[in-house]
Structure 1
């Protein structure tokens, strides 16, 4: 469907921007059936209106205007629950597991098996684990970031330099054959620190994330041991990720 009407097209661009935090001009042009130059003009207008910030190749949400945690939690909720259950089955008893602030990871916190040590900066994960007597919980404090409902900054990164975990479970805005991406520089720094503290990295991402784009690569695909996604993920991307040496688990499929 071609979006030739400018107000309607900009409304669609803003909807996509709010859903993922970042939009690629070239991909938006292809999706909406207009030229990339037209999309660039639209993004400039959104930036002039204070609704977006232009970056190389597209636009991102302004600082402090990220998608609310609750809204992101509701997106693809059934897939996230299924992915969380599949990821939980990969965690060995006695393991130390670092968990980031993503909404799929928050779902995982609700179904964690017993006898784990959980290291996290995520307030929802802390809340899920706090009353469980069969888990050990290490909370990482720092500067509170309302959009991600998590703590971050130098204090968190310093703490992670002194911790070694068996597994890091990370979320992503986008996943491709070359790496794992997010749209928030603040969040990217913490994800990198968590991955750096781990012997193994699991990425949880619903199928839409394997079709998405985001501006900040926080991990190369070679650093990921397992990708847990669902059967809506595009087969070509799943194949490319597997070719890169990553084990791909499709939630709901027998293993």
Structure 2
């Protein structure tokens, strides 16, 4: 029960304005990874039909995926990190091995969050300096005395098991990075995309601090969609994908001027 400063019972907050209501639904969805339509309707004091319409619009905008009883974040972003690690495991492993072969000796390398990059962290050659905001990458590299590790702080995101936000960008202002390895939710001729604005901000900061950028994305990402472009193709030196990628999609990216390395192809 909520009371106002006068001691009277306060009126519940009503989200009768659709854009404001959808913003609140998206905020809750990003915080938890999954949103129950029934619970959201009760909390926001609107009908379940209204919530379902809102979730349908968020899905059209590429910000959510409708599932039984509610919605989740796109491309598995609402699925626990450990479960996403098992998806396309062989393809991600192939991409990770191919990226590891591209890393310059004794370089300073920035590693993004994401399950493919987490696999890469297990394959790093000795002598690198690793800069990262990813907890799985930090954990893997901390056990390696032959690596130098620089951790980036910020606000923790349980869905990606990484830190993010403005603090990452500020920390990177004082670090010279030779190469950044970034993950992506989707890759196409118009650029490289993700599903979360805070994640996009972090990826842009990593790219801006680096002399060159490699995007590590299994073949499914070349057929995926996501709402937020964090880099145009001309900001990427190389895309590393795997042989499950659609040939036409690879040709389209190559025609757009991107160097594509197909692992196992």
TM-score (norm 1): 0.77
* Equivalent residue number for residue 87 of structure 2: 75
1:148 counterpart residue number: 160
Structure 1 residue 84 corresponds to structure 2 residue 96: yes
Distance verdict in 2 for CA 1:129–1:52, change over 3 Å: farther
Deviation sequence 1:87-131 (CA, Å, 0-9, x none): 000001111100111110001001111110000000000000001
Q: Is the 8 A contact 1:122 1:149 kept in 2?
A: yes
Cα distance in 1 for residues equivalent to 2:122 and 2:84: 17
For 1:178 and 1:169, the matched residues in 2 are separated by 19
| Structure 2 gap segments, 5+ residues each | 1-32, 34-47, 65-70
Displacement after TM superposition at 1:245 (Å): 2.2
CA displacement, residues 184-237 of structure 1 (integer Å, 9 cap, x when unaligned): 111111011101111100001111100011000000011111100011111111
How many residues were matched structurally? Answer: 213
Which residue does 1:109 correspond to in 2?
121
Q: Which residue of 1 aligns with 2:195?
A: 183
Q: Distance in 2 between matches of 1:235 and 1:148?
A: 29
Root-mean-square deviation (Å):
2.6
CA–CA distance in 1 between the matches of 2:226 and 2:49? 18
Match of 1:157 among 166, 169, 182: 169
- Change over 3 Å in CA distance of 1:235–1:127 after alignment to 2: same
How far residue 178 of structure 1 moved from its aligned partner, in angstroms, is: 1.5
CA spacing shift, 1:54–1:91, aligned 2, 3 Å: same
Gaps of 5+ in 1: 1-20, 22-44
Q: Mapping of 1:101-250 within 5 angstroms?
A: 101-250=113-262
Contact 1:47 1:53 in 2 (8 A): no
The Cα shift of 1:85 comes to 0.4
